[in-house]
Structure 1
């Protein structure tokens, strides 16, 4: 099982292969298409991320002491953003998610190429994933 850091490094390497941001956006859209989709029954207000301009739902379940995320969004770029985060943090122990560094987002240049509202949404997504990890870590202790 790869660590969060190893997965983040893979993501950074992938984005470095592209020469411009149009290619990177296309890659994000493709990542969004491969996102483990949330079941319709979890598309509730409780699972909606607050602070996002688009609708983004995230559901977390603990499986064998690892947090597994599923998600969806009604916007293709946002779906790509949450796909990157789900890829980095899903199937990891809650403690590892809580302690994870998110500088890989800056390394791929994502924040600087998003509108202010999307950048705020990105921060909200990261916070929500970490909040799920805190909640499940508390259950494990």
Structure 2
């Protein structure tokens, strides 16, 4: 079975935020940025079907979102999925920043970057609340592991 947990592409959460910000800035309009985010979601590792249940569901999301975490060598790795393409992309974006980091690095990385990237303004209120719920879930897991 393929490892469902997202492996970090960048050495730190801050580097991941910088890389995503640069990638989004390549696009002039939000339709192209949405497509880029959707494509990120398509590249997520396959999420085990057995995890698409209420125990893994992230509350506060309009679409259905599921996440799982595991600890390896002092770092937290996350797997995630959604039944909506754009939301899967948002899951991928968050996990690129947070997966494979120490609990302390996760807690030190404020999700304010979502606002700074312009994502929260560009999304509907419900989607904005949903991604905030996902970020809160990741940070809650980190807080229990710190």
Question: Same-fold call, TM > 0.5?
Answer: yes
Structure 1 or 2: more helix by fraction:
1
Counterpart of 1:70?
Answer: 79
Superposition CA RMSD, Å: 1.1
Counterpart of 1:107?
Answer: 116
Q: Which segment drifts farther, 32-41 or 105-114?
A: 32-41
User: Unpaired segments of 5 or more residues in structure 1?
Assistant: none
Superposed counterparts of 1:1-141, under 5 Å: 2-137=11-146
Q: TM-score, normalised by structure 1?
A: 0.93
Q: TM-score, normalised by structure 2?
A: 0.90
User: Unpaired segments of 5 or more residues in structure 2?
Assistant: 1-9
For the 8 Å contact 1:67–1:133, the answer to whether it is kept is: yes
Name the SS for the 1:88 alignment partner. Answer: helix
The C-alpha deviation readout for 1:49-92, integer Å capped at 9, x for no partner, is 10000000000000111111011100001111111000100000
Name the SS for the 1:112 alignment partner. Answer: helix
Say how many residue pairs are matched.
Answer: 137
Q: Which segment drifts farther, 98-107 or 118-127?
A: 98-107
In 1, the alpha carbon distance for the partners of 2:27 and 2:133 equals 27
1:131 Cα deviation after fit: 0.7
